[in-house]
């Protein structure tokens, strides 16, 4: 059952943009790109927030680290995006490890505020550091690509195929992240993380170094956010502090994870598939026309979130899906 759902989901994800592209619309490919990007970030945040159970409100710092690293490599050294991607993820993870190790002395809400602190300190640094372009940031020039293959190899898509190209790039990265997380969930690491979340003292009692494994968990999160930052930078063709360090890069993935089901592998995916299109579609329908600029779309969006939270606080994946699905089958007496 689960395998069939997986195959169907993968097929839909691969095929659905094609008829739209042939019709000449690109809007839904961009929505799909944002869904996949946020689902990927949510998968990353689920490691520190869902499995290790730590309040991390500052992963957007590592999104920015990834975006800036790849932009610097591309602009200053001419390194292509796909090569910069693992480098940027590694740099994000390394910086995260160095910053997070001292922070793991703090627990609970104190740790949460310390992750916010790193973000608050990163903002003026990003806005004043001349080497990375200060407040203006860095522009990523587009090099002329002759064919689809060279575009894909350099992660630079232009013209009418831009949305489609980045959609498939995001799909590939998302699938890679999902596979990686499925492995982490079942590995010894995953069990250590959950042991620390459920009872830190007991976990230490059986010899788990809680500080070390919190750092590892957050570094995995940082690597995913770094990779997401690279993808976003090349999509946006620029990196600047207010964009790369925007609060949305943590709140959207966190909300997606919580609404889908925190600590479950598919939770962030389901959450992103629900929340991002709702936000996008409402901002294009309710956000335009006579009531434009009055925030009607965000009122409805807020209302939907409040209602989901009030009536299913444990996330949508916690609903008794298997029982409901079984009910639909013909009863075998």
Residues that bind another protein (CB under 8 A): 49, 55, 102-103, 105-107, 109-110, 113-114, 116-118, 120-121, 123-125, 127-128, 251, 254-255, 257-259, 262-263, 291, 293-296, 298-299, 301-306, 308-315
Question: How buried is 74 (Cβ within 10 angstroms: 0-12 exposed, 13-18 middle, 19+ buried)?
Answer: buried
User: At its nearest, how many Å lie between another protein and the CB of residue 173?
Assistant: 25
User: At its nearest, how many Å lie between another protein and the CB of residue 68?
Assistant: 18
For residue 102, how far is the Cα from the chain centroid?
A: 25
User: At its nearest, how many Å lie between another protein and the CB of residue 4?
Assistant: 30
114 to each of 55, 111, 255, how far by Cα in Å?
A: 10, 5, 20
Nearer Cβ to another protein, position 16 or 101?
A: 101
User: At its nearest, how many Å lie between another protein and the CB of residue 118?
Assistant: 8
Question: How buried is 305 (Cβ within 10 angstroms: 0-12 exposed, 13-18 middle, 19+ buried)?
Answer: middle
Nearer Cβ to another protein, position 16 or 301?
A: 301
User: At its nearest, how many Å lie between another protein and the CB of residue 257?
Assistant: 8
User: At its nearest, how many Å lie between another protein and the CB of residue 299?
Assistant: 5
User: At its nearest, how many Å lie between another protein and the CB of residue 332?
Assistant: 35
Nearer Cβ to another protein, position 128 or 322?
A: 128
* Calpha distance 94→97 (Å, rounded): 5
Nearer Cβ to another protein, position 116 or 175?
A: 116
Nearer Cβ to another protein, position 76 or 294?
A: 294
- What's the token pair of residue 58? 């500052």
Nearer Cβ to another protein, position 102 or 160?
A: 102
User: At its nearest, how many Å lie between another protein and the CB of residue 117?
Assistant: 4
Nearer Cβ to another protein, position 26 or 123?
A: 123
Nearer Cβ to another protein, position 80 or 246?
A: 246
């Amino acid at each position: 059952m689960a395998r069939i759902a997986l195959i169907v989901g993968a097929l839909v994800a691969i095929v659905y943009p094609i008829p739209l592209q042939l019709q000449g619309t690109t809007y839904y490919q961009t929505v799909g790109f944002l869904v996949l990007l946020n689902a990927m970030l949510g998968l990353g945040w689920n490691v520190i927030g869902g499995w290790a159970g730590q309040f991390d409100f500052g992963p957007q710092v590592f999104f920015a680290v990834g975006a800036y690293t790849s932009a610097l490599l591309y602009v200053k050294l001419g390194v292509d995006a796909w090569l910069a991607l693992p480098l940027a993820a590694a740099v994000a993870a390394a910086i995260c490890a160095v910053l997070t190790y001292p922070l793991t002395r703090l627990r609970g809400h104190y740790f949460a505020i310390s992750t916010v602190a790193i973000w608050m300190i990163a903002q003026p640094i990003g806005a004043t550091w001349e080497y990375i372009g200060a407040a203006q940031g860095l522009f990523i020039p587009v090099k002329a690509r002759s064919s689809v293959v060279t575009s894909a190899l350099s992660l630079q898509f232009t013209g009418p195929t831009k949305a489609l190209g980045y959609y498939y790039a995001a799909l590939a990265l998302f699938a890679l992240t999902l596979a990686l997380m499925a492995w982490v969930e079942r590995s010894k690491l995953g069990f250590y993380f959950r042991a620390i979340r459920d009872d830190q003292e007991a976990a230490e009692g059986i010899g788990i170094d809680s500080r070390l494994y919190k750092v590892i968990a957050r570094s995995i999160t940082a690597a995913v956010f770094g990779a997401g930052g690279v993808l976003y930078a090349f999509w946006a063709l620029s990196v600047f502090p207010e964009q790369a360090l925007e609060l949305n890069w943590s709140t959207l993935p966190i909300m997606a994870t919580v609404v889908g089901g925190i600590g479950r592998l598919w939770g962030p995916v389901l959450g992103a598939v629900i929340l991002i299109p709702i936000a996008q579609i409402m901002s294009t329908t309710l956000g335009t026309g006579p009531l434009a600029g009055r925030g009607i779309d965000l009122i409805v969006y807020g209302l939907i979130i409040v209602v989901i939270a009030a009536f299913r606080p444990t996330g949508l994946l916690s609903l008794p899906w298997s029982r409901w699905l079984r009910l639909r089958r013909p009863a075998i007496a």
